[in-house]
Homo-oligomer: A and B are copies of this chain.
Amino acid sequence: MVEFRVDRASGLPAYLQLGRQVREAVRLGRLRPGDRLPTVRDVVATSGVNANTVLKAYRELELAGLVEARQGSGTYVKATLGTAAPEVLEELRGKFAKWVIEARAAGLEAEDIDALVRAVLSGGPDGA
């Protein structure tokens, strides 16, 4: 089961946060085809957002072909994303986690790490 975390202060619309979390979970293999997403009413109770907001997120995912909504039953994961094997992901996760530990040990704050990672990933200035 997936737990949603909606950060109201982030500035990012709630429905986008929900959508992204589902996509990432599918991408990382934490959600597989056939798995059921939390109920609309569940998410409402858990995250405090409105039902329409959750519905909007789910509808976009359905439109993308990623999930399937069955009235009276629930919303189910339909497809997969990403082609990476679980073991490969695990190994890479471990290496990156080590890098983070090293960065922290070097005195970098969380925001320093964020900035560094973002700079490289965005392919932007001083990036790749």
Q: A residues within 8 Å of B by Cβ?
A: 3, 5, 11-13, 16, 23-24, 27-28, 30, 81-84, 88-89, 92-93, 95-97, 99-100, 102-103, 106-121, 124-126, 128
**A92 contacts which of B93, B106, B109 (Cβ < 8 Å)?**
B106
- Residues of the B chain whose Cβ atoms lie less than 8 Å from the Cβ of A82: 108-109, 111-112, 115
With A92-B108, A106-B92, A126-B30 as contacts: A118 and B24 at CB distance below 8 Å: yes
- Asked, given contacts A16-B11, A106-B84, whether A100 binds B112 with beta carbons under 8 Å apart, the answer is no
Question: Main SS of chain A's interface residues?
Answer: helix
**In whole angstroms, what is the CA distance A5 to B123 when docked?**
12
Contact of A121 among B13, B100, B107 (CB under 8 A): B100
Residues of B within 8 A of A28 (CB): 115-116, 119, 126
Docked Cα-Cα span, A126 to B42, in Å, equals: 23
Ordered by A's residue number, 22 sampled pairs between the chains whose C-beta atoms are within 8 Å are A23-B111, A24-B118, A27-B112, A28-B116, A82-B108, A82-B111, A84-B106, A84-B107, A84-B112, A88-B107, A89-B112, A89-B116, A92-B108, A92-B116, A93-B120, A93-B126, A95-B102, A96-B99, A96-B120, A99-B99, A100-B120, A117-B117
